[in-house]
Structure 1
Amino acid sequence: MNVEKRAQVDANGVRGRFGMAASASVLAVAVLLAACNEKPAGSQPSAGTNPPAAPSPAPAPVPAPAPAAAAPAAPAATVESAPAPQSLAAPRKLPLNVQGVAAAGVTVRVKGIEIGTDATVLDVSISFANRITSSTMLALLDTYLEDESGSRLQIKRPTNNRDLIIREGEMLNGQLVFMGAVPASARKLRLVFNESNTDDNIVAPGFSVDLPLAGG
């Protein structure tokens, strides 16, 4: 009986020691779990948990394309204007009051002269009076202006009266045009009608009139 009681006491002592050890083990595990749950602020997450995804960086701004360089402006074309033609000298006008008479009955009065670069023009008044014939011609033969050097400017014959026919009792007022310019140095001209004929020729009287050029 003493043996049984000792064995029972030993068994109870063993259970008591094992119970205390188990309690201590449970208490240690509880302390460890509490320590794990109370993580300090700012502590890193455990290796087993996935960290929250970091926000993706904003895309870098795409630089705006640089404006295309403007092509250099082409130099303005230089147009060389043609030299203006020299203006022709203005015609020289001189007043005259000269009269010539032919025996056949022709009277020519020269009232003025215009000396241009291409022509020389006389303002004239011509009349004819004769009892024998009804008309006469003032340019049947050569009719011209002659300067002091002997140069001649031939008459420009009118298309409707090439021989300068004038009727008896008629008076013609107009212009006689001679082709060409009178030299600037000329001091006088000679107006010739029907060269080589005499002034009493009633068909085509020949005569001349001297024309002084004032300031010539």
Structure 2
Amino acid sequence: MKDRRVFSDIFRLTARPAARACMCLALATGAWSWGLPAAQAQASAAAQTTPVQMPAVQAQASSEGGWNLRVKGMAAQPDHTVLDVAVSFANQRRPQGAQLAGGDTFLLTDGGTRLLLKRPAEDANVPIANNASMQGQLTFLGAIPVGTQQLTLVVNEGNGEQDTRAPALKLPIAVPPEVQSQLRVHSVGADAAKLAADVRYPVQASNEGGLLVQVQSVQREADRTRLQVSIAFSNRRRPRGTELAGGETFLRTAAGDRLMLQRSTDNPKLLIANNEAMVGELVFQGALPADAQGLTLVINDGHSATSTRASALVMALPAP
């Protein structure tokens, strides 16, 4: 399977000064695709740049550290989530300003899934000057799962509200009914035995290390099995990215059989750059049994989710 990277630099931040020291945030989108024909990959990138409707949201929080954060709109896309935000910072003890993403900043679903912030390439920590504000859109990798009623925007997890560089903040956000009606991706765990019988593709899983995997479909062939996937990775502590096949990556059947990943000759460890996503297919050697209940995708078996080289993830898959 060839590695065909068609587009990079998914999101670009451009800031421009305006009246009253306002900083306006503009995010442009794109994608790089792997294992897809160029025309199809370019169509995928074009779809992500199409303007989306933003159902209105009313959520606001402030902190002792100086944040005032307001979410005005939300859009649920098949592989990413967009918030329309207005953020300001003011603290006389911090003349240098603050960073909105100096720590881990993400959306947390009420089911425990993390949708990590897609950091702008030029200003990855999203700095905001003291006594200034910004408004625009923040994009998070991954889809809001079916059944989600509330999200929490977690800013700079692990820091205190009085942190001198990147103060923390949490903002609960109710998912509007019109957004809930658009949700199509199911969140799954690691245990195939606990997978609900009514779960259908696409399915999604993430880990604490910053890896998020969506499987759109599973296709049977006589001597191999194909997974159509969308995979994203974002972790500020791993600037070099992660390897999807740095360890053993395979499909495991209910009987314990392993269908091993067919590795690309150009990119055998399937490196995914930090703060990027890929769309394409994974090919596994061997055919699925007629009864494919209890199927599991195992990525980097034996590694940990927080591995600095090959982040591990296990996700249960519905029968094709």
The normalised TM-score by structure 1 is 0.56
2:161 pairs with one of 189, 194, 199: 199
Distance 1:112 1:101 in 2: 18
Q: Which residue of 1 aligns with 2:288?
A: none
**Does the alignment pair 1:153 with 2:115?**
yes
- Could you say what the CA RMSD is over the residues aligned between the two structures, in angstroms? 2.0
* Mapped contact 1:92–1:115 kept (Cα < 8 A): no
Matching of residue 114 in structure 1 with residue 71 in structure 2:
no
**Shift of residue 138 of structure 1?**
1.4
Alpha-carbon distance in 2 for matches of 1:174, 1:214? 19
Q: Identify the structure with the greater strand proportion.
A: 2
Higher helix share: 1
Looking at structure 2, the residues matched to 118 and 104 of structure 1 have their Cα atoms a distance apart, in angstroms, of 33
Equivalent-residue separation in structure 1 for 2:122 and 2:139 (angstroms): 14
Deviations 1:93-118 (A, max 9, x none): 42111111121111111000000001
- Residue 171 of structure 1 deviates from its aligned partner by 0.8
Q: Is the radius of gyration larger for structure 1 or structure 2?
A: 1
Who is 2:59 aligned against?
98
Find out whether 1:190 has 2:190 as its counterpart.
Answer: no
Instruction: Give the aligned partner of residue 316 of structure 2.
Output: none
Residue 148 of structure 1, CA deviation: 1.0
**Quick check: 1:129 aligned with 2:90?**
yes
After TM superposition, the runs of 4+ consecutive aligned structure 1 residues lying more than 2 A away are 90-94
Structure 1 residue 128 displacement after superposition: 0.7
CA distance in 2: counterparts of 1:103 and 1:187, whole angstroms: 28
1:135-174 aligned at under 5 Å gives the runs 135-174=97-136
Residue 171 of structure 2 corresponds to which residue in structure 1? Answer: 209
What residue number does 2:14 align with?
A: none
Q: The residue matched to 2:87 in structure 1 has which SS?
A: strand
Q: Which amino acid aligns with 1:210?
A: P
1:117 is paired with a residue whose SS is: coil
Give the secondary structure class of the aligned counterpart of 2:104: coil
1:133 offset after TM fit, Å?
1.3
SS at match of 1:210: strand
* TM-score, with structure 2 as normaliser: 0.38
Report if aligned partners of 1:94, 1:213 keep a CA contact under 8 Å in 2.
no
% identical equivalent positions? 34
State the alpha-carbon separation in 2 of the partners of residues 151 and 133 from structure 1.
33
User: Partners in 2 of 1:148 and 1:137 — Cα distance?
Assistant: 26
Q: CA deviation at 1:201?
A: 1.6
Cα pair 1:129 1:169 within 8 Å, conserved: yes
SS at match of 1:143: strand
Cα shift readout 1:123-164 (whole Å, capped 9, x = no counterpart): 000111111112111111110001111000000001121001
Once the 2 structures are TM-superposed, how far is the Cα of residue 92 of structure 1 from its aligned partner? Answer: 7.0
Structure 2 unaligned spans of 5+: 1-46, 181-320
